[in-house]
Amino acid sequence: SDTIKVNHSRTSLIGDRNNTFKECRYKSLAKEPGSDFKTVVLHVSDPFTDSITLRDNDDNLVVECYGSNNTVLSRSYFSLIRIKKDLELLLENNYQKHVVTHSPKETLSVLMIGIDGNSKQNFQRHMPKTRNFLLDNLNAIELNRYNKIGQNTYPNILALLTGKRHQELVESGWTPDKVYDCVNEDFIWSYFSKAGYRTGAIFDDYHVTAFHYQKKGWDKPPVDYYHRVVVLAKNNDKLMKATSSNCFGDMPEITFNHDFWIQMASTFNISQSKPYFGFSFSQHLTHDNHNKASAGDHLYHGFLQELRDKNIINNTVIIFFSDHGQRYGPTRSTYNGMVEYNTPYVFLVFPPWFHRKYPHLIKVLKINQERFTTNRDIYETLRDLVNFQATTKLGDINKRGISLFQEIPRERMCEHVKISVEYCLCNQLTTTNISSSMTLVLALTVQYKLKSLISTVRDKCSVLNFKTVMSVMEVQSETARVNQTTVNSTRYQITLMTTPGDAVYEASVEYFHTTKKSDVVGDIVRLNLYRGQAECVEQPKLRNYCFCN
């Protein structure tokens, strides 16, 4: 059984002569049934001065210590990984069935560590210790032509975890006003659970996550160990975030989250028959400012060192990834900013013995480093890891997701993986000497499209007119270049500012020479924040195009 101990070397440092340490209590917290946004107190412990034994199933705790005049001297949160007996029986049964049915060659635990809005280039600039440790010490395989598939976190993380698009989830019966419970079977952690894995998940924000921002999250926890309760409790606790939203009292939030995974791996990684799957996605540090990534470098580096020093990497595949680059801010409207916006990173770390035992798979992974890849390929690789057969073949170019254990065809392009033109880095952008009348046509095409996008909320939002054209570039499609086909249209990428509100937009516009008509292709992307301008509309997508009346 687990106990909480008072650290008496610290009790003398708090309070003062008139208010000395008296006692502590813990509260056991849980998610309120039916809500992913509220917590309830299950139990308040008796007071203790030295230590107390935890009850079974008390795994999300807030511990308060009081002074002699009954004021709160300290408050600490704990998110504990504790063995759940009924769960262990179920998972051991699942694992035995899985082994009998599929005879996997290996059972590897999987830990996915994600950072929001951190491009491949930004990671190189701001987190060199972490990056160098991945490559030099953990022998990581980095995918060098990894392209995002959608605008923001949601479509990219959804594809990573389900292999699906938003629309396909809707076709399965889910809508944004419903919880995700009805489609939780589609999430990769459910496949791992059926194979006997303990599952865990961390989203570090209470509402700006892929599955909570203007959505409902889950009713029942989607995984066995759902690090949600403490996130919610912390959000309502002014004391805990008094210094910074990146701190948990006197501890960096990143360290608090990493401790959760060290607990999980130390509890379950002892044998191949008790595997775990963990998914972690951190937004706080980098969501609003990608330069803050540097503040996390030594913390992530230390975490990876700990995974190595505790030999956790010996039975765990680590996937270290991001969703997209910086979406807003001054650098975003530059050419480099556009490239970074579309290039997240992904590193795959396999145990040292895996390289020796499966050289044929490592060879394929190294070939795929230089092939065109997306997060759907990571999803397919995870499906292969659940039921690991150690086989390889040439991947099917017509499939939008291909496991990295299969060789990805060299000819693969954005069309094959269903990436819309505005996110596709296969196409080349070149400067163009375009007439002012042609520039006007392109700007008005975007202006007209912006007007049609807000047609349903015209009573709330102002009509946007273009104020200045900031740049126009010509898009040279890779397909046309490879096939050397003649085309009767030209595609341009235009960046412009609108009024009222000074929003900056980027759009791809196709101009047809024979008909002299033009059309916006794909999404119009907003390059600066809409915060404070679009609160009058509910729909997340429309907020990009609305300036409230």
DSSP string covering 405-446:
TSBPPTT--HHHHT--GGG-SSSEEEE----HHHHHHHHHHH
| Domain at 428-543, CATH from 3.40.50.80, 3.40.50.10490, 3.10.450.10, 3.40.50.300 | 3.10.450.10
User: 198, 268 in Cβ contact below 8 A?
Assistant: yes
User: 495, 475 in Cβ contact below 8 A?
Assistant: no
Residue percentage of the chain with pLDDT more than 90: 72
**Ordered alpha helix ranges (H), 70-228:** 85-102, 120-126, 128-132, 153-162, 166-171, 188-194
SS3 32: coil
Question: Quick check: 364 pLDDT over 90?
Answer: yes
CA 178/CA 271 separation, integer angstroms: 38
Q: Which of 273-287, 328-342, 416-430 has the highest mean pLDDT?
A: 273-287
How confident is the model over 320-362, as pLDDT tens digits? 999 998 887 778 878 888 889 899 999 999 999 999 999 999 9
Which tokens sit at 169?
A: 């989830």
What pLDDT is stored for residue 335 in this prediction?
Answer: 82
Which tokens sit at 541?
A: 């997508």
Provide Rg for the chain, Cα atoms.
26
User: 466, 447 in Cβ contact below 8 A?
Assistant: yes
Cβ-count burial 522-541 (b if 16+ within 10 Å, e if not): ebbbbbbebeebbeebeeee
0.85 exceeded by pTM: yes
Instruction: For the sheet with 316-322, list strands across it.
Output: 141-142, 346-349, 316-322, 109-115, 276-282, 198-203, 225-227
Domains of the chain, residue spans: 3-79, 85-423, 428-543
Q: How distant is the alpha carbon of residue 428 from its chain centre?
A: 28
How confident is the model over 116-145, as pLDDT tens digits? 999 999 999 999 999 999 999 999 999 999
CA 81/CA 223 separation, integer angstroms: 13
Question: Quick check: 483 pLDDT over 80?
Answer: no
Which superfamily is assigned to 85-423 in CATH? Alkaline Phosphatase, subunit A (3.40.720.10)
Distances (CA, A) of 93 to 100, 136, 150, 190, 266: 11, 39, 39, 15, 21
Among the listed ranges 4-8, 69-73, 234-238, which one has the minimum average pLDDT value?
A: 234-238
CA 146/CA 346 separation, integer angstroms: 7
User: 20, 43 in Cβ contact below 8 A?
Assistant: no
